[in-house]
């Protein structure tokens, strides 16, 4: 049984101009001790899908899913009290802006203590000992002094360490990190990512890393989900994703990386922008920006081909399905075969070489 | 060499005085120390470093928003000598334009694109008629890849990438020779970032612009820069041609910065030059070399002297007394 098992997750928001689907039909299956990454541009729904999992979205969000289970417990039909016991304790999350995620009115010690008190209990002395241990564990020098510090007295990197200390204070089995290093400098980013991976190895927790940085994906995660405009377009092992992207969007994204386009006069670009609420195209959501687009793409919404381990959301996936490597437990949820395109076209005919 | 440089800086320094409060003493923050470089037409000088290293202070001094505390700034052959609170002459201000990081904050939400683009002309080119200004604005809108119907729209109707295009168009209205780009693509998504970088390259080719490109994203810098200045704590620690600096980083900080940058290649195994700790507080600078507290090569000597930039190879200057050892260690790690 997977630790986190989500199938067909959709999140819709009621807006003044109609229902907006921020996330559609997302599947995530994470096992104990696995490191996953969700990558996508802004508006791809990567944060919203995880916030929905945590139950942190406002009541205006309409969250539906075929299945949404954490360690066998159905997250959709929990009472608020039961949910609070899991969220923060067994499943916790850290956010992008460490400075704004901490409460400016309380010392970091108080804030860590609150977590431990809620989920683990224990007397004041034990909790303080635990908080000091945690601060030391996340690499904060002189914990006895820092435990009395207010968030404004800490740098960005230190605040993020405090956030991590809070998140791991109750020995979670799943840690979701939402762009944990985006607001930090590269040398501090390297420290924080290393800390997260070390903690993951030591405790055996599962880690989901939400990011927009392909470099961070390559250096940290084992498996990756690519999202585009609220859809999950592809799911692969990191190594095989970089070597054999299956979705044209992934391929275009990888070739737009400056380091992959060395020696070329201009960077390969993806024309246009991510569709917003009002300009969602018909058919495949990526079709206006795709270099392999056909009339079929403009009219028919693609579904993942049955038997495709990467579950590529494309009528004409690139490469061979055999090239894609995914963890064994990813069960291909079979799509109706009737939607398969009649034409078979070899997209490799025009595909530029993107391997470094 | 300096005769054809469009901008040259000699020992540019900018200090800020912090007033003392009831419980604190007045202090001096050395935001920028002894930056020297030359900028040539059609070339890109990249300034890299982490937050607080003085990148943006350098941008403010170069664009004459603030005068330097000491040092010389020469723009287009004119020596800029400014006193505190004095405005630079208009003909110099026209030469240097700036583009900011956040395209959401740098455009006036109450003005249409055309109004914003025409404003510099209204102020600086009094002889132009309204029709001429409009034509010039439309021409520039087309140049940066927007459509004519965008001219009468407001900033909120555009995406981040389009707004950055508007900011670029506005900066180019007075035909400047120098463009200071302060993290121009770091707020943009990857697919949009490539579009804007290509646009900047096209415009540079067309107008022969000189760019000062401030960024912390090394993969972007490596792609577009001709020369690089690596800054730490307000001081240049390594300068030189981009290719030389990127293939053989020589200063321990440059090495650490490069090896900390994630690379989008999952097959690459490498050892990091690890950095411990965080940059020091500008209010209590460490003695000697500012990088010494975080440096793995630091010795007692490093705490005593603040090393000046010294030429160590063709065009490459490094401020480190242990540069030979740093290079030997780095070659041993085989990071690149």
In a shared domain, residues B233 and B288? no
| Residue to test with chain B: of A187, A209, A259, most B Cβ within 10 A | A187
pLDDT category at A262 given cuts 50, 70, 90 is confident
* Cα of B216 to nearest chain A Cα, Å: 8
**Positive or negative, the Cα torsion across A329, A334, A339, A340?**
positive
| Confidence at residue B118, expressed as pLDDT on a 0 to 100 scale | 95
The tally of domains found in chain B comes to 2
B313 touches chain A (CB under 8 A): no
In a shared domain, residues B27 and B119? yes
Angle, CA of B6, B8 and B13, to the nearest 5°: 145
pLDDT category at A345 given cuts 50, 70, 90 is very low
In a shared domain, residues B207 and B323? no
pLDDT category at A348 given cuts 50, 70, 90 is very low
In a shared domain, residues B165 and B263? no
Instruction: Indicate yes or no: CB of A187 within 8 angstroms of CB of B194.
Output: no
In a shared domain, residues B223 and B291? no
Select from A314, A332, A298, A300 the least CA-distant residue to A245.
A314
Q: What is the CATH number of the domain that holds B240?
A: 3.40.50.300
- CB nearest B219 (choices: A42, A238, A258): A258
In a shared domain, residues B142 and B202? yes
In a shared domain, residues B268 and B180? no
Instruction: Indicate yes or no: CB of B260 within 8 angstroms of CB of A254.
Output: no
| Confidence at residue A167, expressed as pLDDT on a 0 to 100 scale | 93
Burial (CB < 10 A; 0-12, 13-18, 19+), residue B324, is exposed
The whole-angstrom separation of Cα B293 and Cα A63 is 50
| Residue to test with chain B: of A36, A141, A186, most B Cβ within 10 A | A186
**Across A298-313, average pLDDT:** 88
Q: pLDDT (tens digit, 0 to 9) for every residue of chain B, 336 residues total?
A: 445 899 999 999 999 988 877 777 888 888 999 899 999 999 999 999 888 888 889 999 999 988 899 999 999 888 887 777 777 888 888 899 999 888 888 999 999 999 999 999 999 888 999 999 999 999 999 999 999 999 999 999 888 889 999 999 999 999 999 999 999 988 888 888 999 999 999 999 999 999 999 998 888 999 899 999 999 999 999 999 999 999 999 999 999 998 888 888 888 766 677 788 888 888 888 899 999 999 989 999 999 999 999 999 889 999 999 999 888 888 766 544
Instruction: Indicate yes or no: CB of A242 within 8 angstroms of CB of B275.
Output: no
pLDDT in tens, A126-184: 999 999 999 999 988 889 999 999 999 988 889 999 999 999 999 999 999 999 988 88
Final residue belonging to a domain, choices B223, B247, B271: B247
User: Which residues of chain A are within 8 Å of residue B161 when distances are taken between CB atoms?
Assistant: 273
**Across A73-97, average pLDDT:** 89
Rg of chain A (C-alpha set): 21
Q: For strand A67-70 and strand A4-15, is the pairing parallel, antiparallel, or unpaired?
A: antiparallel
The residues, any chain, with a CB within 8 Å of residue A61's CB and separated by 6 or more, are: A11, A12, A13, A22, A48, A52
| Confidence at residue A148, expressed as pLDDT on a 0 to 100 scale | 94
User: Which residues of chain A are within 8 Å of residue B266 when distances are taken between CB atoms?
Assistant: 217-219, 238-239, 242
Question: In 3-state terms, what secondary structure has residue B213?
Answer: strand
In a shared domain, residues B123 and B228? yes
* Cα of B252 to nearest chain A Cα, Å: 13
In a shared domain, residues B271 and B133? no
- CB nearest B263 (choices: A41, A193, A215): A215
Rg of chain B (C-alpha set): 21
B220 touches chain A (CB under 8 A): yes
| Residue to test with chain B: of A211, A267, A325, most B Cβ within 10 A | A267
Above 50 in pLDDT, residue A328? no
* Cα of A185 to nearest chain B Cα, Å: 6
pTM of the full structure = 0.85
Mean pLDDT of chain A: 86
| Confidence at residue A325, expressed as pLDDT on a 0 to 100 scale | 63
| Confidence at residue B332, expressed as pLDDT on a 0 to 100 scale | 65
Question: In 3-state terms, what secondary structure has residue B44?
Answer: strand
**Positive or negative, the Cα torsion across B242, B248, B249, B250?**
negative
B198 touches chain A (CB under 8 A): yes
**Across A1-26, average pLDDT:** 91
In a shared domain, residues B137 and B48? yes
- CB nearest A215 (choices: B191, B198, B262): B262
Burial (CB < 10 A; 0-12, 13-18, 19+), residue B198, is middle
* Cα of B160 to nearest chain A Cα, Å: 10
Tokens 């900080």 belong to which residue?
A: B253
Instruction: Indicate yes or no: CB of A256 within 8 angstroms of CB of B193.
Output: yes
pLDDT in tens, A315-327: 999 887 666 665 5
The whole-angstrom separation of Cα A340 and Cα B296 is 59
Instruction: Indicate yes or no: CB of B192 within 8 angstroms of CB of A261.
Output: no
* Cα of B327 to nearest chain A Cα, Å: 19
Final residue belonging to a domain, choices B196, B217, B247: B247
Residues of chain A with pLDDT > 90, as a percent, come to 58
List residues of chain A with CB under 8 Å from any CB of chain B.
Answer: 41-42, 155, 157-158, 185-191, 193, 212-219, 238-239, 242, 252-254, 256-262, 265-271, 273-274, 289, 356
pLDDT category at A337 given cuts 50, 70, 90 is very low
* Cα of A10 to nearest chain B Cα, Å: 24
All structural domains of chain A: 4-221 (3.40.50.300), 226-349 (no CATH)
Instruction: Indicate yes or no: CB of A239 within 8 angstroms of CB of B267.
Output: yes
Provide the domain limits for residue B87.
2-247
| Confidence at residue B66, expressed as pLDDT on a 0 to 100 scale | 87
3-state secondary structure B226-244: CEEEEEECCEEEEEEEHHH
In a shared domain, residues B303 and B325? yes
* Cα of B318 to nearest chain A Cα, Å: 20
* Cα of A78 to nearest chain B Cα, Å: 37
B283 touches chain A (CB under 8 A): no
- CB nearest A186 (choices: B50, B162, B192): B50
Final residue belonging to a domain, choices B247, B280, B309: B247
3-state secondary structure chain A: CCCEEEEEEEEEEEECCEEEEEEEEEEEEECCCCEEEEECCCCCCHHHHHHHHHCCCCCCEEEECCEEEECCEECCCCCHHHHHHHECCCEEEECCCHHHHCCCCCCHHHHHHHHHHHHCCCCHHHHHHHHHHHHHHCCCCCHHHHCCCCHHHCCHHHHHHHHHHHHCCCCCCEEEEECCCCCCCHHHHHHHHHHHHHHHHHHCCEEEEEECCHHHHHHHCCEEEEEECCEEEEEEEHHHHHHCCCCHHHHHHHHCCHHHHCCCCCCCCCCCCCCCCCCCCCCCCCHHHCCCCCHHHHHCCCCCCCCCCCCCCCCCCCCCHHHCCCCCCCCCCCCCHHHCCCCCCCHHHCCCCCCC
| Confidence at residue B19, expressed as pLDDT on a 0 to 100 scale | 83
In a shared domain, residues B143 and B265? no
User: Which residues of chain B are within 8 Å of residue A289 when distances are taken between CB atoms?
Assistant: 191
């Amino acid at each position: 049984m997977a630790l986190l098992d989500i199938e067909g997750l959709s999140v819709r928001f009621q807006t003044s101009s109609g229902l907006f689907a921020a996330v559609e039909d997302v599947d995530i299956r994470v096992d104990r001790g696995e490191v996953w990454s969700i990558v996508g541009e802004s508006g791809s729904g990567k944060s919203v899908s995880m916030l929905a999992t945590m139950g942190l979205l406002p009541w205006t969000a309409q969250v539906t899913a075929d299945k949404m289970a954490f360690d066998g417990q159905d997250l959709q039909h929990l009472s608020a009290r039961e949910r609070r016991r899991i969220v923060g304790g067994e499943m916790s999350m850290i956010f992008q802006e460490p400075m704004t995620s901490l409460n400016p009115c309380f010392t970091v010690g108080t804030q860590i203590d609150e977590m431990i008190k809620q989920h683990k209990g224990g007397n004041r002395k034990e909790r303080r000992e635990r908080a000091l241990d945690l601060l030391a564990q996340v690499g904060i020098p002189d914990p006895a002094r820092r435990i009395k510090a207010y968030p404004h007295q800490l740098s960005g990197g230190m605040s993020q360490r405090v956030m991590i200390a809070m998140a791991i204070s109750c020995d979670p089995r799943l840690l979701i990190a939402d762009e944990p290093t985006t607001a930090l400098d590269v040398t501090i980013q390297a420290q924080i990512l290393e800390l997260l991976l070390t903690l993951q190895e030591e405790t055996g927790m599962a880690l989901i890393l939400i990011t927009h940085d392909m470099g961070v994906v390559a250096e940290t995660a084992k498996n990756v989900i690519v999202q585009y405009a609220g859809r999950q377009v592809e799911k692969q092992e990191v190594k095989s994703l970089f070597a054999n992207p299956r979705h044209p969007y992934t391929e275009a994204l990888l070739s737009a990386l400056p380091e992959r386009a060395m020696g070329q006069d201009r960077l390969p670009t993806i024309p246009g922008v991510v569709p917003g609420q009002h300009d969602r195209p018909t058919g495949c959501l990526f079709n206006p920006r795709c270099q392999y687009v056909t009339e079929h793409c403009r009219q028919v919404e693609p579904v993942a081909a049955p038997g495709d381990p990467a579950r590529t959301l494309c009528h004409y996936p690139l490469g061979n399905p055999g090239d894609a490597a995914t963890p064994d437990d990813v069960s291909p949820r079979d799509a109706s075969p009737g939607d398969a395109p009649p034409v078979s076209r070899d997209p490799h005919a025009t595909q530029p070489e993107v391997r470094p | 060499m300096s005769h054809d440089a469009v901008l040259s800086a000699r020992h540019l320094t900018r200090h800020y005085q912090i007033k003392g409060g009831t419980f604190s003493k007045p202090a001096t923050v050395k935001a920028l120390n002894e930056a020297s470089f030359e900028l040539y037409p059609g070339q890109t000088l990249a300034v890299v470093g982490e937050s607080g290293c003085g990148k943006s202070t350098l941008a403010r001094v170069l664009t004459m928003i603030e005068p330097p505390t000491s040092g010389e700034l020469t723009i287009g052959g004119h020596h800029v000598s400014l006193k505190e609170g004095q405005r630079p002459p208009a003909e110099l201000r026209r030469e240097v334009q700036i583009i900011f990081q956040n395209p959401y904050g740098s455009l006036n939400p109450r003005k249409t694109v055309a109004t914003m683009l025409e404003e510099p002309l209204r102020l600086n080119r009094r002889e132009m008629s309204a029709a001429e200004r409009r034509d010039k604005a439309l021409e520039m809108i087309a140049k940066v890849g927007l459509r004519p119907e965008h001219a009468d729209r407001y900033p909120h109707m555009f995406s981040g990438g389009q707004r950055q295009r508007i900011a670029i168009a506005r900066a180019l209205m007075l035909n400047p020779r120098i463009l200071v780009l302060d993290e121009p693509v770091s707020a943009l998504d990857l697919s949009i970032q490539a579009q804007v970088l290509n646009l900047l390259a096209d415009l540079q080719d067309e107008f022969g612009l000189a760019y000062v490109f401030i960024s912390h994203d090394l993969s972007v810098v490596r792609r577009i820069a001709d020369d690089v200045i690596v800054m730490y704590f307000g001081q240049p620690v390594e300068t030189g041609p981009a290719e030389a600096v990127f293939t053989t980083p020589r200063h321990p900080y440059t090495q650490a910065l490069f090896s900390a940058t994630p690379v989008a290649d999952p097959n690459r195994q490498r050892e990091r030059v690890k950095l411990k700790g965080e940059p020091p507080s500008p209010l209590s600078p460490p003695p000697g070399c500012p990088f010494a507290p975080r440096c793995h090569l630091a010795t007692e000597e490093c705490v005593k002297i603040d090393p000046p930039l010294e030429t160590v190879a063709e065009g490459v200057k490094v401020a480190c007394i242990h540069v030979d050892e740093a290079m030997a260690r780095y070659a041993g790690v085989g990071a690149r």
